[in-house]
Each structure stands twice: as C-alpha cells, then as structure tokens.
Amino acid sequence: MVGLGPRKPPSRKGSMAGVPKDLLDQINRLEELFTVPQEKLKQITEHFKAELTKGLTVEGGSIPMNPTWCMGFPTGYETGTFLALDMGGTNLRVCEISLPEEKGEFDIIQSKYRMPEELKTGTAQELWDYVADCLQQFIEYHHEGEELGRLPLGFTFSYPASQDYIDHGVLQRWTKGFDIDGVEGKDVVPPFEAALAERGVPIKLTALVNDTTGTLIASAYTDDQMKIGCIFGTGCNAAYMEDCGSVPKLAHMKLDPKLHMAINCEWGAFDNEHKVLPRTPYDIIIDKESPRPGQQAFEKMIAGLYLGEIFRLVLADLHGNPDVCIFEGQDIGKLKKAYSLDASFLAAIEEDPFENLSETADLFANKLSLTATQPELELCRRLAELIGTRAARLSACGVAAICKKKGWESCHVGADGSVFNKYPHFKARGAVALREILGWTGRKDPIEILPAEDGSGVGAALIAALTLKRVREGQNAGIRDPEAMLKGCGGK
Ligand code: BGC
C-alpha cells in the first residue's frame, strides 16, 4: 500500500491556487476547527494524566481504569497449548497457540468466522450461541476424535468490563456500535460458559482479556521494553502495567503494593464531561446520534468507526450551506446515509497520488454517485488530512499521559488496529505530536509507538498461561475458584 509509514506526505503546495474564495474560506474554517496546536496537546495531556490517576481511586473518574488481574509480564519462557477467542467488531477469530520451550516463540493455527451484522443488535442468547458454535466447530475440525482434557481459553472481549476476577467480567457498556440487549451490567462469562456446556465443548475459560491488555502482554513477550499496549482501530484504548500500591480502589484486597497489575484504561471515555477536547459541531452530532450519547468522547474523535462519519457530516453540511453548496444541483442521497463512509474512504483519499486528485474523483463517483469539481476535490483532500491528523495527534496525548504519569522517559509502545496499521501517515503524525508534547529535539525519539504482536491471539493465550501458572503457585488474587480453574487443565 502506498503512503504507509513515517514517510513525509508528498507536498502538494500551490494546489489550492484555483480554489474560489468561498471554498477557501471553508477550508480555513475547517482548519481552525480540526487543528490541535501544540499548546492544546499539552493541556489535554495534563488533564489526561490527572484523569488516569483519578480513575484508579475509590471514587473513580470518567476513565474506568479497570484492574485486569493480569499480574505481571511474561518471561518469554511460558509453555503449553492454549486457545484464544477474539470477539472484535468484524470477525470472530479462534486460535490455538503453542508456546514452545524457546524464549519468545509461538506457533499459531487459527480460523476466522464472520460476525453477522444482525448479531450486533440481536439478543444475548443468539450472540453466545454463535460464539459457542464457532468454538465447537474449531475443536471438531482440529481435534477430531482426540481425547482432550479441557483446553484453557483466553477470551478477548474488547469492550469495557469491570473484573473482580480474571475469569469474570461485568460489561459496563457496549461500545463500537454494538447494541445487544440484556448484556450491559451483567457478567458475560456465565452465559458464555453455559452455551459451551450445552454443547459439551471441552474448554475452560481461564482469562477474560481486553484486546489492549493482550497487546501489551504479547508485545512484552518479544520485546522487554514494551510498556503500553494500544489499539487504534474501530475503537481505541490502551493498557499498561501499574503497581498495585498505586491503585487505591484495590486497597481492600490487601495486595502487596509492589505487585504488578495490568490496567485496562478504557480511555475512550476520556473527557466525557467535555472539559478539554476541542469538539467541533460535527463531533457533537456524532455523539448525539450514536446509540450511547455522552459516552466515549475521546474515542468518537479518533477511532476508525467515526472518522468516515465525521467527514460525511462535514460534506453534507457544506452541501446544505447556500454560501458554498458543494456538489451543487446533485442528488446527495448516498452521502446522506449515516455511516456510509468508513475510514478506508478517507485513507484512499489521502493516498491519491495524483496532483489532479483523479482517484478521489473516481471514489466520489463510484461510492457516492457524485461529480466533484477540482476545488471540491481539494477541499475533500484537505478535510481528510485534517480529520486523520487530528486523530493521530489526540492519540498521542493518551500515550504521553500514561508515560508522564508513570515517569517513563523512554519505552516502547505496542500498537495494533486498522487505523494504526492502514491509515496513511497515522504513525508519523502521532510521532510528531509526541515530540511536541514531550519537547524532544534529538534525532531519536525515546518513546516509540511500534507495531504490536498479536494481542488477541498470542496475548490472550499468554495471559491464560500466566494465570494458570500463578494459580499453581498458590497466587490466587482475583481467581474466583482456583480448583475449578485447574481442574482438567493439566492442573495438579
Ligand atoms: C472498547 C475497548 C477496546 C477498544 C479497542 C473500545 O471501544 O471499549 O474495550 O479496547 O475499543 O478495541
């Protein structure tokens, strides 16, 4: 793919030359709205840092800062065979991961199952039945006729869940457009286990894992400088390793303050009270029309699910504005449809290599049945850049806030997700913003955001392995029923 990586975006200077004044005024207005200057980045980071700390206290704050009961990093020498189930936004993935004796190595076999769109707004029973059917198919296919003990499973459930135990979790709220009735506020594990038991599938859920925690652990398995795991995809979030002594809300557990615990920040909820984020009128509409207004304020400005929608809302607004009236006299029926454009549409615009933006013109014709004039194409390109750049720069505030809170001056951050991996210049723009926030001037950045290892596969398996290991050693904090966990899972 063209345009990935930290390459400087090609300069298209002078290309605004033929843009008439009314559109130029709009471009200037959009630049004002969507640009986040250095000072603002710093201000957001400071507030973010305070909110991270607040989330760890008994009273809590807007960021949940969920303790995960994943207590420490892998050594690289974990061994065994584990299953991992990943229930993300688009696919359901089942993996079998073998961890051999060699440090940091793994083998993986996997199958993907499409997550039917209807399931996202269906019933809880339909969801768990579907998930259990996929697991059953996987086991039957890969282990036909074998006498299996119970295979330990790490279940990556990429939604905010508050966990009193590592193998249980109450869904706080759906995010990323999911809206299944009767799951929020409930423990997701019992109905999942019931669906497995009904089918006689030989699996023991050993750890419920957030994708960011999985990313943190998988990345640390192969790189001991990894301190933060991030997802910049359909949703966005991060996890890092905290000292139990810095988590006042766990004080009642009387854990050794020096013990480590991964914290799933759920930072998508940052600034739900709208104190610092520079929201535009378009962000306000996104929020109002989402299934969960008032929630995930930060995520709604950054995550892949929303980038195309922000873009669409701006264009629809400019069509309706009599002073500019882009796509004048054309039928904007397709552009009017909510969520009809996704982040890949913006990515494709930003990747258009041609000075006359002919690929962008084709995109508008094919996807939206619209003919865009040259100045309109210029506006669209600039708008895509502004939205993509804002997302990358705001993301950097979260990373900088964790590093500042922990006093980390140098480390690696493992990142995954479609926006991080595929959106043009996202990495480079994020790195520039980190430099601005943290005031680096040298040639090498001390904190680097790097592509992560497979968190929801290898990471979830490792967390299952680490959990079984500590239960065998008698470290049962956050384990509901240690005996049941070991039973049939090679436990002695
Ligand atoms: C969810 C998080 C998840 C993130 C990335 C957010 O919408 O709330 O739990 O880590 O998306 O997938």
Query: By the 8 A CB rule, do 169 and 157 touch?
Result: yes
CA torsion, points 259, 262, 264, 267, in degrees to nearest 10? 80
Tell me, in angstroms, the distance from the centre of ligand 1 to residue 149's CA. Answer: 32
Walk along the chain (492 residues) and give the pLDDT tens digit of each residue.
333 444 455 555 547 888 898 999 999 999 999 999 999 999 999 999 999 999 999 999 999 999 999 999 999 999 999 999 999 777 899 999 999 999 999 999 999 999 888 998 999 999 999 999 999 999 999 998 888 889 999 999 999 999 999 999 999 999 988 889 999 999 999 999 999 999 999 999 999 999 999 999 999 999 999 999 999 999 999 999 999 999 999 999 999 999 999 999 999 999 999 999 999 999 999 999 999 999 999 999 999 999 999 999 999 999 999 989 999 999 999 999 999 999 999 999 999 999 999 999 999 999 999 999 999 999 999 999 999 999 999 999 999 999 999 999 999 999 999 999 999 999 999 999 999 999 999 999 999 999 999 999 999 999 999 999 999 999 999 999 999 999 877 543
Q: What is the DSSP letter of 262?
A: E
Does residue 266's CB lie within 6 angstroms of at least one atom of ligand 1?
Answer: yes
Query: By the 8 A CB rule, do 349 and 2 touch?
Result: no
Q: Which sign does the torsion angle of CA 182, 188, 190, 196 carry?
A: positive
pLDDT the model gives residue 1:
36
E strand intervals along 172-326 = 203-209, 226-232, 236-243, 260-264
Rounded CA gap, 428 and 10, in Å?
13
Give the orientation angle of helix 343-350 with respect to helix 374-406, to 10 degrees: 110
Return the ligand 1 atom nearest residue 235 CA.
Answer: 11
pLDDT the model gives residue 312:
98
Using CA atoms, how far residue 205 sits from 140, 155, 295, 323, in Å, is 18, 7, 30, 59
To test the pocket of ligand 1, the residue of 93, 184, 236 to mutate (highest count of ligand atoms within 8 Å of its CB) is 236
Catalytic annotation present for 173: yes
Catalytic annotation present for 211: yes
To test the pocket of ligand 1, the residue of 211, 418, 456 to mutate (highest count of ligand atoms within 8 Å of its CB) is 211
Rounded CA gap, 48 and 282, in Å?
23
pTM for the model stands at: 0.95
Q: Which is nearest to 128 in space by CA: 173, 175, 186, 172?
A: 186
Phi-psi region of 72 (alpha: psi -120 to 50; beta: other; left: phi over 0): left
Query: By the 8 A CB rule, do 319 and 335 touch?
Result: yes
Catalytic annotation present for 418: no
The DSSP element (H or E) to which 464 belongs, if any, is: helix 460-472
pLDDT the model gives residue 492:
37
Q: Which sign does the torsion angle of CA 52, 56, 58, 60 carry?
A: positive
* Amino acid identity, position 261: M
Does residue 299's CB lie within 6 angstroms of at least one atom of ligand 1?
Answer: yes
- Specify burial of residue 222 (Cβ count, 10 A radius: 0-12, 13-18, 19+): middle
Q: Which sign does the torsion angle of CA 308, 314, 317, 319 carry?
A: negative
Q: How far apart are the first and last CA of the chain?
A: 50
pLDDT the model gives residue 177:
83
The two three-digit tokens of residue 406, written as one number = 């922990």
Catalytic residue among 62, 158, 290, 456: 158
Tell me, in angstroms, the distance from the centre of ligand 1 to residue 404's CA. Answer: 22
Nearest protein Cα to ligand 1, atom 1: 159
Q: Which sign does the torsion angle of CA 45, 48, 52, 57 carry?
A: positive
Does residue 233's CB lie within 6 angstroms of at least one atom of ligand 1?
Answer: yes
Cβ count within 10 A of residue 474 = 7
The two three-digit tokens of residue 73, written as one number = 């990093």
Instruction: Give the strands of the sheet with 80-87, arranged side by side.
Output: 107-114, 91-99, 80-87, 151-157, 203-209
Rounded CA gap, 129 and 134, in Å?
9
To test the pocket of ligand 1, the residue of 176, 234, 292, 300 to mutate (highest count of ligand atoms within 8 Å of its CB) is 176
* Amino acid identity, position 342: D
